[in-house]
Amino acid sequence: MIAVITESTVEPITVTEAKEWLGIQTTTHDAKLTAAIPAARKKVEQLSGRSMVVRTVKYTVQEWSGDIIELPYPVISAIVSVKSMDSSGVETTHAVSDYALVYNRLHFVGNGNSVEITYTTAANAEQFYKLAIKKQLAYDYRNEYTENGFDQEVIKMISSVTFNLGY
């Protein structure tokens, strides 16, 4: 299970960039665009499996035993905490020396009822993803934000690349 603890307040594209992409020259749609940009970004994140903004997330793995946990939504910039809970409900906060982060894989030897990792993601400002967000935004704008689907061109874009998830 993944939960967003702190969401970014900075989007990969600005309202000005969105208006330029959409050919809008007035401020009439600024409020809608301000709300639509994060929605389009989240759709691209869902398709790509990557985080496009800086945020803090908590990832919980139930009934875990092993030595590697793949963390969703790379690129991971920092581990905030690693906690485990044993079957009797005793929680342990682990020292930095107990684990290592290699790309989006947390190397952590242990077992328990659950492991909770809190971490921050880095922003992804690659032009490819910014273009995907703009295309998704245009799709949403054309459909007057009533369609909750994905732009087929964005789906093809994202699926056409081989993702290196950090390993």
Range of the domain at 31: 2-50+125-159
Question: What global pTM score does this model have?
Answer: 0.82
In the chain, the number of structural domains is 2
Q: Does residue 164 belong to any structural domain of this protein?
A: no
My answer on whether 33 and 77 are in the same domain is: no
Domain shared by 8 and 23, yes or no: yes
- Asked if residue 146 is part of any domain, the answer here is yes
Cβ neighbours, 10 Å, residue 107: 12
Same domain, 92 and 41: no
Q: Looking at the structure, do residues 69 and 110 belong to the same domain, yes or no?
A: yes
- End-to-end, the C-alpha distance of the chain in Å comes to 22
Q: What is the pLDDT of residues 64-108, one digit of tens each?
A: 777 899 999 998 999 999 998 888 888 889 988 889 999 899 998
**Does residue 63 sit in the same domain as residue 110?**
yes
Report the run of H or E that residue 159 belongs to, with start and end: helix 152-159
pLDDT tens figures, 22-59 = 999 999 989 999 999 999 999 999 999 899 999 999 99
The two three-digit tokens of residue 126, written as one number: 């690659």
